[in-house]
Amino acid sequence: MSARSAGDGSVSLLTLELRYEHDVVLARQRARQLAGLLGFDVQEQTRVATAVSEIARNAHEYAGGGQVRFRIVRDPDGPSVFSVRVRDQGPGIADVDAILDGRYVSRTGMGLGILGARRLSDRFHLESAPGKGTTVEIGRALPHNARFTMADADRVVSAIAQGTSQSPFEEIQRQNQELLQALDEVRTGRAQVEQLNIELESTNRGVLALYAELDDRAQDLKRASEYKSRFLSDISHELRTPLTSVLNLTRLLLDRTDGELTGEQEYQVSLVRDSVGTVIDLVNELLDLARIEAGRTTLRPTEFTIGSFFASLQGIARPLLVSDRVTLHVDRQQDATMMFTDEKRLAQILRNFVSNAIKFTEAGEIRIAAQPESDDSVRFLVSDTGVGIAPQHQSKIFEDFVQVDGPIQRRVRGTGLGLPLSRKLAGLLGGRVELESAEGKGSVFSVVIPRVLAESDVLEAAGMDGEPA
């Protein structure tokens, strides 16, 4: 006795005719035996045997008999499937959809058997029509992604042929044992579920307490942030007035309004002016940061060309050059491109880039350029031939008050707020800041912003995004 290969790629293992009631028991036995020979574990064998028994019993009771065909459906792209097809020539099922949806159960429980068999199967297919009979095919994938060969099929068929069949009484005993074992598993599972429910309830209480604590901490952090922003805003306003007065006084002295100064006096007054200028820059940056964090930044978008913007930026940047060894170049290729955004904030970002480039470039050139992006954005770049930034420091320089230690850093003044502020301003403009740098080869700072500032970005910056700021 050997297996037969069908034209559809399947391998037929065994066919049984359902004529008498003990044939239903035989179909169950063969289903379990074949499942065991194919490598299914005991629980899987029971599932397959139970599903086959239910469908075979339906065929015997409602159609007066039928045929059970056991086969392997081979799949070249996946595991083979142990398939059992039960076919009858009975009256058929009037409303298949109602049974499969669980909406119909006959007085004899026919619908329950079909639904149960479907739940026990990986694959389930039912075809039926009144007067044309019913075909039900159930299947389970072979374990361990097994691929089935004809040699495997011959081995299974030979083992079945040599085996002995149990009597119906022995099969019923075994079925009862399986039922008792299933009941024990259900009881064990129920006890585990109850224990899990207790643990889950305890965990839920813990999670609720944790969320409550997190809410309290969030409120504390929110209040602390508001206090910090208010403090920075107040102290900045209080400092700007006297600092501006001192700066104006140094300007009067250097302009010789009250008489000539000696060389030493001019040097000392210049030191005072530079120091005051550093403090004023710090105060202005702190005030801008406080406004951004509090959601109180006002954006005023206007229409301008990149050419006019670069002209203004070049006029601001040139006085910052203190060495003839550094030159400033402005790329004019995109001069005619129109922008609609906050020109003042964009200039503030690029001024910070240019200022840093000047500080850390002892000789070479600084170049300002603009490039269109594919998403209707514009990339503004400030490149230099300065000392560059090591990879491990490139993320740190965007943190508040952080400066990279180095020989040049010790000679130049700075607050460590320019780049963090630039990144936050870029976010308000709907864009981002990017950096490319290598030690000894210079740096390229760029800001990418939309060519047209969205109205939602204007409202969000001012704390008007639909929620109280």
CB 394 within 8 A of CB 461: no
Distance between CA atoms of 428 and 345, rounded to whole angstroms? 9
Q: For residue range 385-416, what is the model confidence (pLDDT) as tens digits?
A: 999 998 888 888 888 767 666 555 545 555 66
Query: Rounded to whole angstroms, how far apart are CA atoms 252 and 269?
Result: 10
Q: Residue 218 and residue 236: Cα distance in Å, rounded? A: 27
Per the DSSP assignment, residues forming a β-bridge with 434 are 446
Q: What gap in Å lies between CA 296 and CA 293, rounded to an integer?
A: 8
Range of weakest confidence among 340-349, 353-362, 373-382, 424-433: 353-362
* Cβ neighbour number for residue 376 with a 10 Å cutoff: 9
Nearest CA among 431, 435, 444 for reference residue 339: 431
Q: Are 14 and 157 in contact (CB under 8 A)?
A: yes
The distance in angstroms from the start CA to the end CA of the chain is 83
Tokens representing 226 are 């508001």
pLDDT for 299-345, tens place per residue? Answer: 899 999 999 999 999 888 887 787 888 999 999 888 899 999 999 99
357, 327 Cβ separation under 8 angstroms: no
Cα 127 off chain centre by: 43
C-alpha 425/C-alpha 421 separation (Å) is 6
Contact (Cβ atoms closer than 8 angstroms) between residue 444 and residue 382:
yes
> Cα 439 to the chain's mean position, in Å?
34
Q: How far is CA 344 from CA 7, 94, 351, 393, 415, in A?
A: 78, 77, 10, 29, 21
> Residues 368-381: pLDDT tens digits?
999 999 889 999 99
Q: Is the pTM of this model over 0.85?
A: no
pLDDT digits (tens, 9 = 90+) for 96-109: 888 888 777 666 55
Reported as a single tens digit per residue, the pLDDT across 6-31 is 666 788 889 999 999 889 999 999 99
The torsion angle over the Cα atoms of residues 4, 7, 9 and 14, rounded to 10 degrees, is -30
| The predicted structure's pLDDT at residue 466 | 45
Mean pLDDT of 272-289: 77
113-151: pLDDT as tens digits: 788 888 889 899 999 988 889 999 999 998 876 667 888
Start-end of H helices in 303-342: 306-317
